[in-house]
Amino acid sequence: MNSLKALIFLMGMVVITAACSSSPDYVPKPKGYNRIDLPPHQYTALTGKYPYQFEHSAHAVIRPDTFARAEPYWIYVYYPELRANVQLTYKEVNENPKKFQELINDAYKLASKHQIKAEAIEEMVMKTANGKTANLFQLEGEVPSQFQFYVTDTTTHFFRGALYFPSATKNDSLAPVIEYIKEDMVHMINTLKWKKDSNVEF
């Protein structure tokens, strides 16, 4: 009887060992992104009667800002294929130091309002190719706006931009698209020019 129990025990051990040795080693799945085919960067000049001029992505379309309190010259650079918007707002400073400071404060408030969800907010100062100074805000984490900027000459023009995705997709999945549009926005800043007369086109 003892021999039978020993035989059964031995056979059980053989089966368990075989099962363990035949199962594949577990390898953690590497972090990846949804496959998104991004077109090569191509640019075209903004057309229309605006007090500013820049080059934007040829894959985007210009739309008027439909926000209830939108002001003249507020527009969207809309990416139909990527379902992304770059909201652009413009304010005249009118050589008013108080108004200028208010616009600066508003830009910081609009960036910091995402602070609850943001893992980090990095501010950078960029000198553009045509001599302008731009302040950039890069936001990390599950925030609706991942990149913002403003450019001003301090006396006449105040130009602000913000990237938005009307999507619930996680930002780590959107990372390639965010980086793609950020490159377009930096190109926009580098090609930004002011118009002396808003009724005259370049």
Question: Mind listing the pLDDT tens digit for each residue in 63-107?
Answer: 999 888 999 999 999 999 998 999 999 999 999 999 999 999 999
Identify whether the C-beta of residue 195 lies closer than 8 Å to the C-beta of residue 202.
Answer: yes
Q: Is residue 13 part of a domain?
A: no
Q: Is residue 36 part of a domain?
A: no
Structure tokens at 146: 């991942």
Q: Is residue 23 part of a domain?
A: no
Instruction: Give the pLDDT confidence score for residue 145 in this predicted structure.
Output: 83
Q: Is residue 119 part of a domain?
A: yes
Instruction: Give the pLDDT confidence score for residue 54 in this predicted structure.
Output: 97
Residues 6+ positions from 44 with CB-CB distance below 8 Å: 55, 56, 57, 58
Structure tokens at 39: 């077109």
Instruction: Give the pLDDT confidence score for residue 146 in this predicted structure.
Output: 87
Position 104: which residue type? I
Q: How many domains does the chain have?
A: 1
With 0-12 / 13-18 / 19 or more C-beta atoms within 10 angstroms meaning exposed / middle / buried, residue 186 is middle
Identify whether the C-beta of residue 35 lies closer than 8 Å to the C-beta of residue 44.
Answer: no
Q: Please list the residues that pair with 62 across neighbouring strands.
A: 77
CATH number at residue 154: 3.40.1000.10
Structure tokens at 172: 């780590």
Region 21-42: mean pLDDT is 62
Instruction: Give the pLDDT confidence score for residue 45 in this predicted structure.
Output: 98
**Does residue 27 carry a pLDDT above 90?**
no
**Does residue 26 carry a pLDDT above 50?**
no
Measuring CA to CA, which residue among 80, 77, 81 is closest to residue 54? 77
Structure tokens at 7: 């035989």
* Domain containing residue 73: 43-194
Distance CA 172, CA 142 (A): 8
**Does residue 171 carry a pLDDT above 60?**
yes
pTM for the whole structure: 0.76
Q: b/e per residue, 47-65, with b = 16+ CB within 10 A? A: eeebbbbbbbbebbeeeeb
Q: Is residue 52 part of a domain?
A: yes
Q: Is residue 2 part of a domain?
A: no
**Does residue 16 carry a pLDDT above 80?**
no
pLDDT tens-digit readout, 100-155: 999 999 999 888 765 556 566 788 999 988 889 999 998 877 777 889 999 999 99
Q: Is residue 62 part of a domain?
A: yes
Query: What is the maximal distance between C-alpha atoms in the chain?
Result: 106
